[in-house]
Amino acid sequence: MESRSVNIHEALISQCRTGNRQAQFELYRLYHKAMYNVALRICNDREEAEDALQESFVSAFGHLDQYRGDSSFGSWLKRIVINKSLNLLRKKNQWVVLQEELPDSGYYEWEDVPDHRLTLEQVKKSINLLPAGFRTVLSLYLFEGYDHKEIGQIMDISESTSKSQYNRAKKKLREIMCKDVKYG
């Protein structure tokens, strides 16, 4: 089954390389929801996420000759979406410059959140309240599956800064969620 879906994508990609608009629309249809969610987690704004998504697809279709098939098309496209989203944050001066810092000495445990079930909406709202730099590192690590070395390369920070920002993001998120649980 897996090889079958890859063959379908290979055929679509080949058609897209020839400028076939119908094939481009089909690739867009297959990936736009997932890629929009990636952009939204980074941008934290629906309109900016839509802008990043549009720029990403335009860039992807314009540079399909650079897609070598070493990874899935989705992985390749996700990297473009992440880069476009980060660039959009930088352009809009929403980017928080991450300073080199000593790594945190402790690890933050999620057990500190009171024994209360949070809804998915409450967790999303809490993540959206994080500063842009914290939210970006947290999203890239937890949701997109990048390790700290890769995050460092993507964001042009050191691996230790990525780890530090991730730990600080978890601490801040825990504070936000505890406050939400306590005060509703």
- What per-residue confidence (pLDDT) applies to 125? 86
Q: What is the pLDDT of residue 110?
A: 44
Amino acid at position 24, single letter: Q
- Phi–psi pair at 129, nearest 5 degrees: -85, -10
Q: Token pair for residue 86? A: 């980060």
What pLDDT digit, counting tens, does each position of 55-82 carry?
A: 999 999 999 999 988 888 998 999 999 9
- Average pLDDT, whole number, for the chain? 81
R_g of the chain, CA atoms, integer Å: 19
pLDDT less than 70: residues of the chain: 1-8, 93-118, 180-184
SS3 173: helix
Going by C-beta distance under 8 Å and a sequence separation of 6 or more, which residues neighbour residue 95?
86, 89, 132, 133
Question: Which domains does the chain show, CATH number per domain?
Answer: 2-91 (1.10.1740.10), 110-183 (1.10.10.10)
Question: Which residue has 């952009």 as its token pair?
Answer: 39
CA 39, CA 79: separation in Å to the nearest integer? 11
pLDDT of residue 147: 93
Beta-carbon neighbour count of residue 139 at 10 Å?
22
Q: Which pLDDT belongs to residue 39?
A: 95
pTM for the whole thing?
A: 0.71
